[in-house]
Amino acid sequence: MSSNSPSNTFSNAPSNRLSIGLTLPFFREDAEPLIEVAIAAESVGLDAVFAYDHLFRYGADGGVRPALEFSSALGALCAETDSIAIASLVARATLRPPSVLTGIFVTAQRIAGERIIAGIGAGDEQSRDEMEQFGYDFGDVSSRVEALEASIASLMHADIPVWVGGDPKYVGAATMMADGWNRWGVSQDRFAREATQLNALRENHGGDPLVISWGGLCVLGATDDEAEKKAERLGASKVSLVGGPQRVAELLVGYVDAGASWIALGPIDSSDPSNAMHAKAIRDLLNER
């Protein structure tokens, strides 16, 4: 059971030290692997685990994959871990009223102590189908960003770090209300341009420097050969981050040099606890540069 006292190791402030975490196996019916991977990540000393917020997802074969409900899973993660940061990547502002979303994160912090990062997004075109199938109005970009800004404003007095996820073209102004920014899956060049843009906007806006993070899918292994064989077995030919710790660290250098102080690794085989060990090795290599 976790303590209500703050973690001695977690800090949301920008740092010269790179922090790395793993996304969790949310797209399944059983919750045991979710907890198992979180405990494995904590046991090897990773910095965070990242929780998705979806109603369902489509698999590579086009079939519907179930999803664990975000707030219930968040509570379980808070109770079953003791020191690792727990971040949403990202909770969608359009699924819940701002006060309800704030209540979820405040409750999580009461259980876990100061280990919660409230990653929030406005949703994108990929989330249209799942929202409409569950009876939600997907809305246009303007209304979704308005919901995002309302959620950030609601959380501002909760003393919980808030990261905004998404394209600065749409969420740049909302990011200025927050503590950090996450970008998922974009190339190093695009990430560098967008991070530079947001840092300049933040400097003009005033306030503390942004915590900048990048996340993306990966296939990890103890060696390049092991990872390549796993990627072939999983049908992950389009995933660019495939390899052992040394290769993946080299592939991530550009993101770190562009300002990322956090990396969210999203293993295709997210229910495999051994990914935690590989992620730690990647982090250690990058921090030894």
Domains and CATH numbers, the chain: 19-218+261-267 (3.20.20.30)
Which pLDDT score is estimated for 125? 84
Which pLDDT score is estimated for 64? 86
Which pLDDT score is estimated for 2? 39
Return the structure tokens found at 278. 């590989």
* Mean pLDDT, residues 61-76: 93
3-state secondary structure of 82: coil
User: Residue 210: pLDDT band by 50, 70, 90 thresholds?
Assistant: very high
Bridge partner list, 91 = 120
Which pLDDT score is estimated for 42? 99
Q: Find the range with the poorest average confidence among 6-10, 47-51, 80-84.
A: 6-10
* Mean pLDDT, residues 136-161: 96
CB 60, CB 23: distance < 8 Å: no
Residue 284 has pLDDT above 60, yes or no: yes
23: enclosing H helix or E strand:
strand 19-23
Would you tell me the crossing angle of helices 245-257 and 188-205 to the nearest 10 degrees? 40
Residue 199 has pLDDT above 80, yes or no: yes
Which pLDDT score is estimated for 287? 98
Listed residue (40, 99, 101, 45) closest to 74, CA to CA: 101
The dihedral of CA 191, 196, 197, 202: what is its sign?
positive
Q: pLDDT digits over 248-270, tens only?
A: 999 999 999 999 999 999 999 99
Q: Find the range with the poorest average confidence among 57-61, 90-94, 102-106, 281-285.
A: 57-61
* Mean pLDDT, residues 206-225: 97
* Averaged confidence pLDDT in the chain: 94
CA dist 41 and 282 (Å) reads: 13
Q: pLDDT digits over 88-103, tens only?
A: 999 999 999 999 999 9
User: Residue 12: pLDDT band by 50, 70, 90 thresholds?
Assistant: low
Which pLDDT score is estimated for 1? 38
